[in-house]
Amino acid sequence: MTDSVFHSGIQRLVDAWTALPGASRIPDRAAFDPNALGRLLPQVFLAERRDEGLVFRLAGGWIERAHGRPLKVPMCWRSGAAKAG
pLDDT tens per residue across span 6-55 = 788 888 888 888 888 876 777 777 888 888 888 888 988 888 888 877 88
Distance between start and end Cα atoms, the chain: 46
Any idea where the domains of the chain sit in the sequence? Answer: 1-32, 41-85
* Model confidence at 58: pLDDT above 80: yes
Q: Tell me how far apart the alpha carbons of residues 64 and 79 are, in angstroms, rounded to a whole number.
A: 20
The model's pTM:
0.61
- Alpha-helical runs (H) found in 19-80: 61-67
Tell me the pLDDT band of 66, cut-offs 50, 70 and 90.
Answer: very high
- Side-chain-side CA neighbours of 82 within 13 Å: the count stands at 13
Q: Which residues contact 47 (CB under 8 A, 6 or more apart)?
A: 54, 55, 56, 57, 77
User: pLDDT at position 76, please?
Assistant: 56
Tell me the pLDDT band of 65, cut-offs 50, 70 and 90.
Answer: very high
